[in-house]
Amino acid sequence: MNNTISPKASLCLFFYNQQDFVDDAIEGALSQTYDDLEIILSDDHSIDDTLNRIKKKVSEYHGDKTIIINENQTNLGIVPHVNKVIYELSHGKYIFITGGDDVSLPNRVAD
């Protein structure tokens, strides 16, 4: 039996105008088998329905993963957006970064 505690990990998804990919990307994130995981869903002020789809998908989730939704009030662009999430919002010892159109397999964040 392994009695060690795994360090917290942060899986950060970055969205900008990716309404057609939100559901699959979030489902992949929520399917992660890693126990101490926070999932950060960050929208960079999309002008399509991305943010509403993120909120709807999260409202349907009833699992034990910590989910953080970030909504930028202006479009920051990729580097400032990533920096904001990593340095201001994430709490993980390990940080995994993925685009809003990427689908993660359940073992993306693994021991």
**pLDDT tens-digit map of 13-64:** 999 999 999 999 999 999 999 989 999 999 999 999 999 999 999 999 999 9
- Distance, in Å, from the CA atom of 111 to the CA atom of 101, rounded to the nearest integer, reads 24
- Distance, in Å, from the CA atom of 14 to the CA atom of 32, rounded to the nearest integer, reads 17
Query: For 93, which DSSP code?
Result: S
Q: pTM (2 decimals)? A: 0.92
Which residues are CB-neighbours of 11 under 8 A, at least 6 positions away? 29, 32, 37, 38, 39, 40, 96, 98, 104, 108, 109
9 vs 4, higher pLDDT:
9
